[in-house]
Amino acid sequence: MWDFIINPFVTALTLFYSWTGNIVFSIVVFTIVTRMLTYPMTVQQQRSTKKMQEIQPMLKKLQEKHKNDRDALAKEQMKLYQENGINPASGCVGMFIQLPIFIGLYQAIIFALAATPLQLLDMSGRLLIPGLTAQIPLQNTWLGMDLTLPPTANPIYAMALPLLVVVTTWAQSKLTLPPTPPRAEGEQPDQTVAMQQSMTTMMPLMFGFFSLSFSVGISIYFITSNLIGAFQYGILNRLNSQSKPLAEGQIIEEPVKNQKPTKKEALKAKR
Amino acid sequence: MNLSKKLLLQITFITTLSLGFLTACVSPLGVGWSAITVLNDGVTAIVAFESIAEKIDLRTGDALVAVDSQGQNQLDEDGNVVLWQVNGRSLDNAQFFSPPIQVSDDLLLLPAVDLRLFQVNLASGEIVANETPFTIGGSGQLISQSVRLDAMTLLMGAPHGVISLHLSEDEETQLSQNWKVDTTHPVWSGGVVVDDHVYFTSLDHQLYSIKTETGEVDWTIDLGGAATATPVYDDQNKMLYVASLSGDVYAVSLEGDILSSFRAKDWVWGTPTLKDAVLYVPDLAGNVYALDTTAGLSLLWRSESVITDGIRTTPIVLEDFVIVGSRDKKLYWLDRETGLLSSRMNQNPLQLDGEVLSNMIYLEQDQALDIEQDLLVVSTLSKRELVIGFNAKTGERLWTHRR
């Protein structure tokens, strides 16, 4: 089912290996290339997050105004999103597109490292460029670590990798989420902000936990991907740092592509 | 719940689900496939797969019971017979892939993937030595099939090399290392012994010629790709045939010169079969090639796209048939003259429950051994059909051994 993603990825990984002669370098190069290819999606996701953040004060007011009428609140929220050109699902869409890439990448690394007869057997037929077979088997040890085994089955210093996964995932999450505006005195904590904060804590721990059972090669992918992601988000945040939170009733001026006009707007335009 | 909160919850949920899915999708695969060793009596075999090794009767497919030192069937506390079984889970999670080695009438060496060699009583299935099992040094996996050089010497592919082991039988069988040859990648092939040399291939792309006495490397040849197939010796022409994952098949002199070659369409993993000067070579695209060894490995025929997935097994070549098992979960009887599906089998392959990856066993009809018909023993990856016995000439299923 995943072959149409995995096979090109396995081929690319092996090709990079034939150039670099080092599996870790090829994982790093491969991760950089895939992060660059998915950069437009990262930008879109970041913009969506930022816009959501910007309309938070207005959303809060709407929640207070319609706290006893859920339907009205939903309608007003949708209206606010439309007026500001926000697609609440756009963050998810980006993620949905990136997930198959991530899963494909994960499996490609497993196949390319092929530690057991069954794994090597499953590698056959996946290399789309003739001549790459000569690279098989890829050297799967690095700094005394077997990249096909989890950190727990490697020398003790391999345990540093899950820790690095936690730290870099946390750094990336921090940069992904725009800074929250300071809370006024006596103001109730925002549930969304609280959830974002808990995600920033939970996700790195979760990834760190998974890294304990995944092979070391995957940890290297996580760390590289997180560092590049953090770098990308850092640049985006710097570029966006000029803009200020919107005042009530203010609409984000940035033109939104493919944004359908609301019925009201369409009628207005007709007149 | 407002939309932002819903969205965040969805993202968290999707991420968790995906990571879970990811783990499930690519949970560590088993090491390999079952390894079967036919014991010296010619009718019983040890089947080692994953963490269990068991003893079966090849005439019936029945699991055999453990027998005590008095020759009596072993019984458990409830009076039920105890089956002959070595359970790797009780041996610090030992997994088995390399075929077991019969050392004597009552002793079996059972190699575990994690480089341990267990000594097992062939009657009772109990681990003989109470002390720690012999462990091959280094890190890696024990994959290859061992070669019995003489009564006291055993050669086996070790992680990143080949190791010669000495078996001493003073009071208790002891293992000690004679020599070790290092390779840059693991050795997964078996070896073939010719005179005082053993020939191995390695994942490091080399064919090795090693002096059995000292372990000195005589010569190596680059095969252009990793190799897993055991070299085949041609006694008539005094040469070796060897294949690699590059798809190349070579005829090599015992002095290390490449005499001729043939390029298959895909990786050649399985060891070819030599019969009547024809070399039958399987590849992982599902092709079988018949090569004329008297004419520089020229192609006699190639099975015409009838097999839909890779062939890892060594072909069984009978008078009229070439029998191969495939990853497409089918067993094929090919006409030996043409490579087409045999008309005597109504041109139908036999459908199985799992992929056929283990080498098949052929036992000729033998009244003295109570083997009533030519028997083909096939093992699949499916535990519902772990081992199956077929009539080798008609394809009739005779028995199925489940786990």
pLDDT, tens digit, for every residue of B131-159? 678 888 777 788 988 998 887 788 888 77
A124 touching B, CB under 8 A?
A: yes
Say if the Cβ atoms of A95 and B11 lie within 8 Å: yes
* Region for residue B249 given its phi and psi (left: phi exceeds 0; alpha: psi -120 to 50; beta: otherwise): beta
Does some domain include residue A44? yes
A137: cis peptide before it, omega within 30°?
Answer: yes
**Cα B140 to Cα A98, A154, B27, B116, B358, distances in angstroms:** 35, 12, 20, 11, 21
Question: Region A41-56: what's the mean pLDDT?
Answer: 75
Enumerate residues 6+ apart whose C-beta is below 8 A from A212.
Answer: A150, A151, A152, A162
- Of A102, A137, A206, which is closest to B226 when you measure between CB atoms? A137
Query: Using a CB-CB distance cutoff of 8 angstroms, which residues of chain B are in contact with residue A118?
Result: 29-33
Does some domain include residue A165? yes
Burial class (CB in 10 A: 0-12, 13-18, 19+), A179: exposed
Query: Using a CB-CB distance cutoff of 8 angstroms, which residues of chain B are in contact with residue A210?
Result: 19, 23
A-contacting residues of B 162-221, CB under 8 Å? 185, 188, 203, 205
Provide the token pair at A189.
């904590």
Does some domain include residue A133? yes
Say if the Cβ atoms of B29 and A118 lie within 8 Å: yes
B161 touching A, CB under 8 A?
A: no
Provide the token pair at B45.
């075999």
**Cα B220 to Cα A133, B142, B239, distances in angstroms:** 20, 22, 15
Query: Using a CB-CB distance cutoff of 8 angstroms, which residues of chain B are in contact with residue A207?
Result: 19
pLDDT of amino acid B278: 98
Write out residues in chain B with pLDDT < 70, as ranges.
Answer: 1-30, 129-131, 170-173
State chain A's mean pLDDT as an integer. Answer: 78
**Cα A106 to Cα A271, B22, B112, B219, B248, distances in angstroms:** 55, 8, 29, 40, 31
Condensed to tens digits (0 to 9), the pLDDT of residues B41-73 reads 999 999 999 999 999 999 999 999 999 888 899
Does some domain include residue A137? yes
What distance in Å separates the CA atoms of residue A173 and residue A190, rounded to the nearest whole number? 18
B34 touching A, CB under 8 A?
A: no
Distance from CA of A266 to the nearest CA of B (A): 25
Say if the Cβ atoms of A124 and B16 lie within 8 Å: no
Residue A199's domain spans which residues? 3-180+190-237
Does some domain include residue A262? no
A145 touching B, CB under 8 A?
A: no
**Closest residue by Cα to residue A86 from A266, A270, A251:** A251
Does some domain include residue A254? no
Provide the token pair at A140.
């799967």
B-contacting residues of A 163-222, CB under 8 Å? 191-192, 195-196, 199, 202-203, 206-207, 210, 213-214
| Res. A206 pLDDT band, cuts 50 70 90 | confident
Does some domain include residue A256? no
CB atoms within 10 A of CB B61: 17
Residue corresponding to tokens 């077929």: B390
**Cα A49 to Cα A127, B68, B355, distances in angstroms:** 39, 72, 48
Chain A, chain B: beta-carbon pairs less than 8 Å apart: 116
| Number of residues written out for chain B | 403
A153 touching B, CB under 8 A?
A: no
Does some domain include residue A231? yes
Say if the Cβ atoms of B14 and A99 lie within 8 Å: yes
Query: Using a CB-CB distance cutoff of 8 angstroms, which residues of chain A are in contact with residue B97?
Result: 117
The sheet carrying B161-169 orders its strands as B147-150, B153-158, B161-169, B173-182
What's the domain count of chain A?
A: 1
pLDDT of amino acid B56: 97
